[in-house]
Amino acid sequence: MKNSLITLIALLLLGCGSKDLQVKDALISILNESTDKQEQYKACILLAELPADDELIDMIDGDNDQPNFCKTFLLAKYLGSQEAIDQFISAFPSNNQLFTLFEKHSETGYIFGILPPAVKLLSEFARDDDQALDKLMGILTTADGAHGESITEVVADIYMRMPSRVELSFKRVKPSESDILLIKKISEHKRNL
Amino acid sequence: MSGLVFNKTLKKLTWGAEHYKAITGGFGLGPLPDGDYEVKTRNVVAGSHLASGFENTLTGNKWFIPIVPTFPESRNGFGIHPDGNVPGTKGCIGLQSSDAGSFWRRWLNTTLSARPTQITVRS
């Protein structure tokens, strides 16, 4: 299974247009049929990097066997509609499931960076969606190490631009005082750059 | 190939005969727990897309070397990186700017197979 995934990545990198359908089919097959959770995770985040088209969206949307969170992530990424974004935010994992997402991302070798792509997408939505901002703020209590440091900086960047909006989120979500202090300090640091 | 040793009290990361000033904790769930960790030499993340907390402010380089506990541990996301922006980390080992530069240069000048694959963290 790992070899097939490597072949798929090579095809993606080569931009092999005629192989697009095979790539999509194979990634969706791994996503739906693999018993290896890490391979499923890799297939999910690689699918998110494919250019969206009606066929791919239909394949994702119409398949009820897919892991639910991956499906909402892919549809939010592909469609960008408010409905898809709301479903993605509402399905976003918390507590133990969130810990598992971070663990899976580090175990698969930090593909596409320190933060899992789903957290990066949530961060993008948090810039103008209060629900997403609250969800991101809530992750601060679970995210540890480099994950926590990266999310704190995303929130600090939003604070630098829209302090009153983030202050309202502080009141709703109630992160720890030390997290609030760190967000404000990093925001100040970024402002002075 | 020599392993790394991080002494939290002395705030010193040691690689062979060389020492580098570093800290851990100050925020979040606190400092890196004591114990042995695997250094994920093949999963290093580097580049301008990283947050300013991973930046060597002297050189502008941003990088993150993941480390994974080899003992049961309920925390994750640990690694070694320059201690950018506000001093302190959420459990990673943050190298101070000038030492981050010399550590990174040495890392890049060391072949993949010769890079340290273990780190011991002690108080």
Average pLDDT estimate for A102-130: 95
Domain count of the fold of chain B: 1
Which domain-ending residue is among A66, A84, A102? A84
- In this structure, the answer to whether residues A36 and A126 fall within a common structural domain is no
Contact between chains at A145 and B76 (C-beta distance less than 8 A) = yes
Cα dihedral across residues A26, A31, A35, A40: positive or negative:
positive
Query: In A, which residues are within 8 Å of B45 by CB distance?
Result: 110, 113-114
pTM of the predicted structure, to 2 decimals? 0.89
Quick check: A124 contacting B, CB < 8 Å? Answer: no
Domain count of the fold of chain A: 2
> CB of B24 within 8 A of CB of B34?
no
- In this structure, the answer to whether residues A132 and A189 fall within a common structural domain is yes
Question: Which domain range does residue A51 map to?
Answer: 1-84
Region of A145 please: left (phi>0), alpha (psi -120 to 50) or beta: left
A43-83 pLDDT, tens digit each: 999 999 998 888 888 888 776 655 588 999 999 999 999 99
**The domain spanning residue B48 has which CATH number?**
2.40.440.10
Contact between chains at B53 and A114 (C-beta distance less than 8 A) = no
The proportion of chain A whose per-residue pLDDT surpasses 90, expressed as a percent, equals: 67
- In this structure, the answer to whether residues A39 and A132 fall within a common structural domain is no
- In this structure, the answer to whether residues A75 and A140 fall within a common structural domain is no
Residues 6+ away with beta carbon under 8 Å from A73 = A44, A48, A88, A117, A118, A121
Number of A/B CB contacts below 8 angstroms equals 96
Which domain-ending residue is among A44, A68, A84? A84
Quick check: B63 contacting A, CB < 8 Å? Answer: no
Q: Which residue of B has its CA nearest to A100?
A: B76
Quick check: B79 contacting A, CB < 8 Å? Answer: yes
Q: How far is B16 from chain A (nearest CA, A)?
A: 26
Which domain-ending residue is among A23, A57, A84? A84
Please say if the pLDDT value at position B43 is more than 80: yes
- In this structure, the answer to whether residues A164 and A98 fall within a common structural domain is yes
- In this structure, the answer to whether residues A16 and A61 fall within a common structural domain is yes
Question: Which domain range does residue B39 map to?
Answer: 4-122
Per-residue exposure over A20-58, b if at least 16 CB sit within 10 Å of its own CB, e if not = beebbebbbebbeebeeebbbbbbbbbbbebebeeebee
B69-92 pLDDT, tens digit each: 999 999 999 999 999 999 999 999
Closest CA to A24 of A55, A62, A61, A67: A55
- In this structure, the answer to whether residues A166 and A104 fall within a common structural domain is yes
- In this structure, the answer to whether residues A124 and A40 fall within a common structural domain is no
